Chain A
Amino acid sequence: MFPTPIEKTPRSWQLTYQSLLPIALIMWLLPLIAVAVFSIKPAVDFTQGNYWGMPSSFELFNNYGQVFFNSDMPRYMLNSVFITVPTVIGAVGLSCLAGFALGIYRFKANIWIFFMFVAGNFVPFQILMVPVRDLTLDMGLYNTKTGLVLFHVAFQTGFCTLFMRNFIRALPIELVEAARVEGIAEWKIFWYVVIPLMKPAIAALSVLIFTFIWNDYFWAVVLTQGPESQPVTAGITSFNAQFRAAYHLMSAGSIVAALPPVLMFFLMQKHFIAGLTLGAVK
């Protein structure tokens, strides 16, 4: 193990390390801690210049109550859910199929199709912006959740297929060959042999895509406007316009907007990290 395990170092460094850990963490999360403190302060603290001191009163329920009952925030959150969940299902589903095809079968175009997905996944959003917006307008899907979902599914399929294909390549191919010898139809091999083995990849990819899509801002701004269909990342800017300079409410709003992916991460940590670091080790 590198660096030297702390148990094998002098006592003095052990103690230093133990005390350094919380200090480093607090410094690392300082901007966030400030926002968390802002979000439980009363408005009067800001007018009196008590920015970083102790809150003069504890307003957690008031501030967050405002966010939930006195703004469009719940609506934006719900939109985000209705955009994110179908996208996860669509993109993971499509990429299971495509990943299976690219991971199991040997055919000439295989590597080129794979590279198309990989390269497409890296392109800057801006090169897609004008045509995709046009396309969405033409289909009558501008400012709808469906329009956003369809695009997200298509774009995320690139990354998901890369992920799934690499995962399937690492599976023992003998299983598939054995099934073929038995004369089992290819789609049954997919459904009964490969899919059960892909469960960890499906879980990892689902949490990752959930976070990516929940956090998307650019496409939300390009393809939607207004509370009927905007997700929370775009909604937060109108929320902030509504409560301009009311830092306690804006902070509470941002924390609420950030919460679902954070919860997702802490609940599904193992899968999340497994997904992010796939390929970081040979």
Chain B
Amino acid sequence: MTATDPTIASAKSERGWYKRNEIAVTPWLFLAPAILFFAFYVIWPIYQSIAISFYDWDGLGEAQYVGMANYVELMDDSAFEVSLWNNFKWLLFYLLAIPGGLFIALFLNQTVTGIRIYKSLFFFPFVLSQVVVGLVFSWFYLPNEGLLNGVLGLVGLGPVNVLGDPTMATYGIIAAGLWPQTAYCMILYLTGLNAVDPEQIEAGRLDNAKGWKMLWYIIIPQLKPATFIAFVVTIIGALRSFDLISIMTNGGPFGQTRVLSFYMFEKALSEYGFRMGYGAAIAVVLFLIMLVFIAYFLWSMWSEEKGR
């Protein structure tokens, strides 16, 4: 990279407004397209959704202002209650991906021959689309044709119809979701383990720290950045669960596997109706739940930035 003479010459002769303000103006020129796109398709729609949630609207005709009526109706909606509860189940059980991923990462953090292939094969469920994961697991769970019941039959258990049982179905879907999510956490921890300070491990060994103690007091604190990212992506993933539910049970049996994201879609945009305002109100509730986490993530990032 060399500065050619013509560049310098033109920079000196051109003392226009842009040249004088170049450092101040350039970032805005570079940001403009991204901000415009983002504002148009993401920021503005958030505001619009909140506005729509105060209206009764079928998506075609005239929208009618109803104030808080949609939210009041939500309070008495048992389907909404089920969805909300399921969202909490998702949040709670989805977090199992983090210890699960750490466990597999510890198992695979060796240097035997072929380990790289093992690592990528363990990781690769994450690359599959949730639609395919959903299909794979719904066939895995099939009462007759499914491999799960085949295996259970071998040890004298079953058969169970995981997705047909209202009490079990949500857990069955979460288990399917945990499969790629654990793989994701695993790869985060494998990278984290690579960067663990060997001197500290040696020092720990000299102090007779072994096994669990070593893991808890020396390794896990050093994995904090990986844990933070694993936490962020798992929470987001849990609250975004839509594809799996839509593919595996379509909300059933008896609507027992709905979550807010799915219920919202069902209310606003499916054969069950076009209640845009009511759907928007559900989305706002989901958004508020997410907002708690978003605020926490941003706060952590902000303290990090300041610490630099």
A280 close to B283 (CB less than 8 A): no
Asked if A44 is an interface residue, CB under 8 A from chain B, the answer is: no
Asked if A251 is an interface residue, CB under 8 A from chain B, the answer is: yes
Q: Which bracket fits the contact residues of B?
A: 35 or more
Q: Name the distance in Å between B160's Cβ and chain A's nearest Cβ.
A: 15
Q: Mark A193-213, 1 if CB is under 8 A from B, else 0.
A: 100000000000000000100
Asked if A142 is an interface residue, CB under 8 A from chain B, the answer is: no
A28 close to B226 (CB less than 8 A): no
Asked if B279 is an interface residue, CB under 8 A from chain A, the answer is: yes
Residue on B with the closest CB to A216?
B129
Q: Name the distance in Å between B36's Cβ and chain A's nearest Cβ.
A: 9
Q: Which of B15-67 contact A (CB under 8 A)?
A: 22-24, 26-28, 30-31, 33-35, 37-38, 40-46, 48-49, 52, 59
Asked if B85 is an interface residue, CB under 8 A from chain A, the answer is: no
Asked if B240 is an interface residue, CB under 8 A from chain A, the answer is: yes
Stretch at the interface among A54-62, A63-71, A130-138: A130-138
B43 close to A116 (CB less than 8 A): yes
A214 close to B124 (CB less than 8 A): no
A1 CB contact (under 8 Å) in B123, B146, B201, B247:
B201
Q: Mark A111-152, 1 if CB is under 8 A from B, else 0.
A: 101011111101111111111111100000000000000110
A269 close to B42 (CB less than 8 A): no
B31 close to A118 (CB less than 8 A): no
Stretch at the interface among B68-76, B91-99, B163-171, B289-297: B289-297
Query: Considering the chains assembled together, what is the distance between the CA atoms of A185 and B12 in angstroms?
Result: 11
B243 close to A276 (CB less than 8 A): no
Q: Which residues of A contact B52 (CB under 8 A)?
A: 130-131
Query: Considering the chains assembled together, what is the distance between the CA atoms of A279 and B7 in angstroms?
Result: 38
Task: Summarize B's interface: helix, strand, loop or mixed.
Answer: helix
Q: Name the distance in Å between B114's Cβ and chain A's nearest Cβ.
A: 8
B276 CB contact (under 8 Å) in A117, A130, A158:
A130
Q: Which bracket fits the contact residues of A?
A: 35 or more
Query: Considering the chains assembled together, what is the distance between the CA atoms of A279 and B224 in angstroms?
Result: 11
B191 close to A130 (CB less than 8 A): no
Q: Name the distance in Å between A226's Cβ and chain B's nearest Cβ.
A: 16
Q: Which residues of B contact A257 (CB under 8 A)?
A: 129, 131-132
Asked if A85 is an interface residue, CB under 8 A from chain B, the answer is: no
Q: Which residues of A contact B162 (CB under 8 A)?
A: none
A118 close to B195 (CB less than 8 A): no
B196 CB contact (under 8 Å) in A2, A6, A24:
A2
A101 close to B124 (CB less than 8 A): no
Given contacts A17-B112, A18-B112, contact A154 B264 (CB under 8 A): no
Asked if A52 is an interface residue, CB under 8 A from chain B, the answer is: yes
Given contacts A126-B260, A157-B37, A183-B8, contact A233 B1 (CB under 8 A): no
Asked if A81 is an interface residue, CB under 8 A from chain B, the answer is: no
Q: Name the distance in Å between B171's Cβ and chain A's nearest Cβ.
A: 16
Residue on B with the closest CB to A128?
B45
Q: Mark A70-112, 1 if CB is under 8 A from B, else 0.
A: 0000000000000000000000001101101110110100110
Query: Considering the chains assembled together, what is the distance between the CA atoms of A142 and B65 in angstroms?
Result: 27
Q: Mark B275-287, 1 if CB is under 8 A from A, else 0.
A: 0100110111011
A261 CB contact (under 8 Å) in B111, B128, B260:
B128
Q: Which of A247-282 contact B (CB under 8 A)?
A: 247, 250-251, 254, 257-258, 261-262, 264-266, 269, 273, 276-277, 279-282
Query: Considering the chains assembled together, what is the distance between the CA atoms of A217 and B129 in angstroms?
Result: 8
A179 close to B1 (CB less than 8 A): yes
Q: Which residues of B contact A102 (CB under 8 A)?
A: 27, 31
B24 CB contact (under 8 Å) in A107, A135, A185, A214:
A107
Given contacts A2-B201, A94-B34, A179-B1, contact A186 B298 (CB under 8 A): no
- 22 A-B residue pairs with Cβ-Cβ distance under 8 Å, sorted by A, are A1-B109, A2-B214, A17-B112, A31-B140, A51-B146, A94-B34, A97-B34, A98-B31, A101-B31, A105-B27, A115-B298, A116-B38, A124-B283, A127-B287, A128-B45, A130-B268, A184-B3, A215-B129, A217-B243, A236-B132, A236-B135, A265-B124
What 7 A-B pairs are tightest by C-beta distance, nearest first? Answer: A215-B129, A154-B41, A131-B45, A98-B34, A101-B30, A101-B27, A131-B48
Known interface pairs A130-B276, A188-B7, A215-B130; 20 further A-B residue pairs with C-beta atoms within 8 A, sorted by A's residue number? A2-B193, A21-B112, A25-B118, A25-B122, A31-B137, A34-B136, A34-B147, A35-B135, A94-B37, A98-B34, A98-B35, A101-B28, A129-B269, A130-B59, A131-B49, A179-B3, A254-B132, A262-B124, A266-B124, A281-B192
